[in-house]
Amino acid sequence: MTSRRVRELTFAGLIVIYALLTVGVLIYPSPVLAVDQWWLDRHMWGNHPEYHWFINHYVILGQRGPATLAFLPLLGYLCWRRRTSEPLVMLVTSLLLLNISVGVVKYDVGRIGPRDSDDVHQVFTSGTLFPSGHVSNTVVLYGVLAMLLPRFRRLIVSAVVFLCLTIGVGTIYLRTHWFSDVVGGWIAGALVLLVLAEVMPSAQRWTDTAVERFRKRRRPTSAERRPRKRRSAVPESTGEFDVAGAR
């Protein structure tokens, strides 16, 4: 079985799980909501307030803004070292796919989180918690890093799994997400990475074409490159006899 076939089967399986999870969030009662209620009843923040400061800062590792800014110097270095724009193109493409795919589901489901309500079935409101953009962003950003550094892929993948699990549980502790939001974020991020491998050739080709067109517009024409004649400091003769000068 080829790697492409494996990706296709994995993508199909994740789509099915994602759809079932979404239906479980929307329908009450459901096993999904029962699990969310179980996690809420653990009262992790209330029972262990001593961890709040650390977890509140730790989850920043998965936030889109800080994590992206932290990665930009490394991606810029990879572009310079490899003489290609592929790292930055991959980052921008992955974030576009993430924002579109996750954003559509967020606004359609409209779920409110446990910090605002203890009701696990607060959907079709102004909320935007399912799936977790925080967790899906963690999966995508660190997944892109693993794709760009194949030499350290095993180490990075292990770190990605650890970060995704711990940051997801951290958001549950902080009551910013339900458990199903976190699971949805894991799946949404994995789907983006699977799609990214397929769309990157086209995205890179479009980028290269756009850059080449820009360079052609900036390139001077033959007329602009033609050197201008320098004006002589000595005035040209008009062909008339200068009487004053002949004296």
Whole-model pTM: value is 0.84
d(CA 52, CA 174): 7
Could you report the per-residue pLDDT of 29-67, keeping only the tens digit for each? 999 999 999 999 999 999 999 999 999 999 999 888 888
pLDDT at 222 over 80: no
pLDDT tier, 243 (very low <50, low <70, confident <90, very high otherwise) = very low
> What's the pLDDT score for residue 151?
86
- Structure tokens given for 117: 């309500």
pLDDT at 11 over 50: yes
> What's the pLDDT score for residue 241?
43
d(CA 187, CA 181): 10
pLDDT tier, 246 (very low <50, low <70, confident <90, very high otherwise) = very low
d(CA 247, CA 245): 6
Least confident segment among 76-80, 88-92, 223-227: 223-227
